[in-house]
Amino acid sequence: MFRNLTAWVLSAALLAGAGAALADGHEDKKRVVTVVTSAEPQTQLMSMVLTMQSMKKGAEVHILLCGPGGDIALKDAPAGATAPQAPKSMSPQGLMAKIMMKGGKVDVCALYLPNKGVGQDALIEGVGVAKPPEMAGELIADNTTVLSF
């Protein structure tokens, strides 16, 4: 009798804890952080393709653009960031915009704007500036996969 009562109490406690975790949004949702530093348009586009595919498979995504990769986020981006590429006539910036429309987060690294000599108004709408402590937390989270291009 005592053994059955103990098992019931433990089961109830586990179920209550799991329910509370789900209600608080602390479930282990898969996250993907894509870091793009490459200036090469084909590499930039592939980074966006894999990020979009991860999103379609249920992952929350965050893109961090650094160095030449940050140029994808500029209103006045280089031609390679906006030119359509085969086979689907997509550009890195165009696919990044679709990712943002579907809820993906995009930031330039904290060093990008000061070293580019421009302000945040140079970025397309919706792109932010990463805060190193928060970004570091995302990168080392257990449920995060980091893609680096």
pLDDT in tens, 101-149: 999 999 999 999 999 999 999 999 999 999 999 999 999 999 999 999 9
Of 33, 1, 56, 59, the C-alpha closest to 145 is: 33
pLDDT in tens, 28-78: 789 999 999 999 999 999 999 999 999 999 999 999 999 999 999 999 999
> How far apart are alpha carbons 110 and 38 in whole angstroms?
17
> How far apart are alpha carbons 121 and 143 in whole angstroms?
33
Q: Which residues contact 43 (CB under 8 A, 6 or more apart)?
A: 36, 149
Q: Do residues 48 and 32 make contact, with C-beta atoms less than 8 angstroms apart? A: no
CATH topology of domain 28-148: Hypothetical Protein Ychn; Chain: A, (3.40.1260)
